[in-house]
Amino acid sequence: MANLSPEEAVERARAAADAAAEAARQAADAAAAAASYADQIAAHPAADGVGAAAHALSGGVIDPFVFRLAIFVLAIFVGYYVVWQVTPALHTPLMAVTNAISSVIIVGALLAVGVDLAASDGAGFARGFGFIAVVLAAVNIFGGFLVTSRMLAMYKKKG
């Protein structure tokens, strides 16, 4: 590699950072689109219809629960392979997005904890599960920030 002037090195680093940021934005957009599509499929009445159709066509052999479980297991495998294909340069921006998602989850969990006990019969369960969700989301957020700061520390100049 030829010797670069400091200005050229900074310009190349900025270009690489811009390219990484754009790739992170595209990856986040693709992940959001995939999650949205998966939510639409899971929440769509057609998913229940397809499960019922598989149950009816098989003469009752395929239970709709088994059909949904198979979709869930396939989603786990797809998610696993998608996550392991993330390049190290995109890890830190994606961790920041994950922390943002966890912060939205913790807001919902706090709302569940704040349910009035006299509101309904299931309010106690909502408070219990809400508390568990608050604890798990807080651990996820805290751990995510630790990992992100450690990753960013790797890029700092030593000396």
Say if 25 falls within a structural domain: no
Q: What is the pLDDT of residue 93?
A: 74
Residue 36, amino acid: S
In a domain, 45, yes or no: no
Residue 37 lies in a domain: no
pLDDT confidence band for 34 (50 / 70 / 90): low
Q: How far apart are CA 80 and CA 90, in angstroms?
A: 16
pLDDT of 36 above 60? yes
Look at 68 and 2; give whichever has higher pLDDT. Answer: 68
Q: Is residue 23 part of a domain?
A: no
pLDDT at 38: 60
- Return the higher-pLDDT residue of 102 and 159: 102
Q: How far apart are CA 124 and CA 118, in angstroms?
A: 9
Q: Note whether residue 110 is domain-resident.
A: yes
Is the predicted pLDDT of residue 127 greater than 60, yes or no? yes
The domain tally of the chain equals: 1
**Any domain includes 135:** yes
CA distance 130 to 67: 29
Q: Residue 55's pLDDT band (boundaries 50, 70, 90)?
A: low
Residue 142 counted as domain residue: yes
Domain containing 97 equals 87-154
Does residue 106 belong to any structural domain of this protein?
yes
